Amino acid sequence: MDTLKTLMHLVGGYRLPDSENGSARRLQLVALAALASAILCAIYGFVAGSGGDMGMAMANLYKMPMVVLLSSVSAIPAGLLAWKLFKSSGRWTDLIVGTAAGTLTGSLILAVLSPLVGLYYATSTWLGPALALGIAGTATLTGIAILGRFVIHGSEPLPKDPAVSGTIGAWVRRLVPLGVMATIQIATLTQLISLASPILYEETMFDGGVDAILGAE
Amino acid sequence: MTTVLLLWAALTTAQATPRSHRGVVVGDTIVWHSTEPNGHVLTTEQPLGNTHTVVLSPPMDSTTDPQHLAIDGMQIDVADPHRLSPHVRYWTDPRLTDAQRRRLKRLTRSGRHHGVYFMPDGAVADNGGLRVTLTEKGHVSAGASMAAGGLFIALLLAMFALYKGLDRSARRDANQYYIDTELGTDTEPTPSQSTQSPPMP
């Protein structure tokens, strides 16, 4: 129960309490958040795949966590490199903990709204798929926003007013790695969805990857 | 346990992944039911990759009201609908109005829920029908899917190992934090602190 309570510190991307802010504990929370995210995404994947047959729903138990976790992890190296190149302030683990916080929060959104997706999938061929896609998009954007919040207000909060002399550079240096990570994550997510498709019963523009989105297919 | 998980992931990934080649599948057929304008239902077997003309009701030209446009009586039965790509290409036929293009896109999308899969090539046939080409969806290599599945399993195991491996260090840090904060405030002042005199005003 204590572990769950500790994990909830990450949801929302707020600053960790001092008692949980040691290096080992932070990395431990990252691992725990990744495992919890996998379970939460699996719940959504199962429900979203239930619009097709049971085989698709069962396959989604690992497809959905795979897509979410691999896209999150793949963004970390580029983010760390940008953090180093721009000499960003704060701890380097802020990027990793922020990614875990964003992924966990996004996965929670998927899981708590999955009953709604299941209900609409069973009762509406028109709104069900759109709802499933919309919730997934919302979770992705929320996850990236939470990553941003944690990076900005992480272990060393930045001044609230970026216009204060001398702090604009600090803001930019911390936001650049964030932008790099968000870009890499979305780019990876797009192709991983294509790789893992079909996830939803309906064909979507994401099934064909970037080729289909840009109309090159 | 790990082996079972890896095997399961590889098997399901391979099953869900379309074949890696692109283009026409020779010898693979679909059953095609088409309602002719005279009401007769035509059932034929056609190989994938052939171009067919779908009966539109009414036959389409630039004067056809898009709101009344419907794809009539077409159904394709396939064993594995996900092998076919219903990707709607851009509608390039100059005879179509924008409203007709939008309507046709909507029609082809709505057909997916009922197992109707087709790939319009953006042109209207001379008889006012819609030309469609059925192709196999196949741009994803099975190797990439299996690699992603393997990476995912490895990631989960690594996260679990990381969590267990850092347990002792995290406990040590927590104890140190407790000593530094809780115990530090309750302990008696050191002799050097107690003998210091307060600053003079």
Residue B153's alpha-carbon distances to A156, A173, B78, B126, B162, in angstroms, are: 34, 34, 33, 54, 14
- Give the pLDDT band of residue B60 (cuts 50, 70, 90): low
Average pLDDT over residues B90-116: 55
Considering only CB atoms, which chain B residues are within 8 Å of A27? 162, 166
Nearest chain A Cα to B22, which residue? A217
Give the CB-side neighbour count of residue A187, counting CA atoms within 13 A. 9
Q: ipTM of the assembly?
A: 0.76
Q: Is the pLDDT of residue A58 over 80?
A: yes
Higher pLDDT, A9 or B189: A9
Q: pLDDT band at B96, cuts 50/70/90?
A: low
> Which of B16, B166, B176 has the CB atom closest to A198's CB atom?
B16
Give per-residue pLDDT as tens, A85-124.
Answer: 887 777 888 889 999 999 999 999 999 999 999 888 877 7
User: What percent of chain A is modeled with pLDDT above 70?
Assistant: 87
Residue A103 has what pLDDT?
94
More confident residue, B72 or A137: A137
Q: Say yes or no to pLDDT of B52 above 80.
A: no
Average pLDDT of chain B, as a whole number: 57
| Model confidence pLDDT, tens digit, residues B136-161 | 443 345 567 778 888 889 999 999 99
Asked if A28 lies within 8 A of B145 by C-beta distance, the reply is no
pLDDT attached to residue A108: 94
Residue A68's pLDDT band (cuts 50, 70, 90) = very high
Instruction: Over range B188-200, report the average pLDDT.
Output: 50
Specify the higher pLDDT residue, B73 or B167: B167
Which of B85, B92, B167, B173 would best serve as a mutation to test chain A binding (most A beta carbons within 10 A)? B173
Percent of chain B clearing pLDDT 90 (strictly above): 3
Q: Is the pLDDT of residue B133 over 60?
A: no
User: For the residues of B66-100, what is the DSSP string, one character each?
Assistant: GGG-EE-SEEEE-S-GGGB--PPPP---TTS-HHH
Answer for the pair B13, B145: CB distance below 8 angstroms, yes or no. yes
Question: Using CA atoms, how far apart are residues B28 and B78, in angstroms rounded to an integer?
Answer: 10
Chain B closest CA to A25's CA: distance in Å?
5
pLDDT of A204 reads 73
Q: How many CB pairs under 8 A join A and B?
A: 100
Q: What is the phi/psi pair of residue A186, to 5°?
A: -65, -40
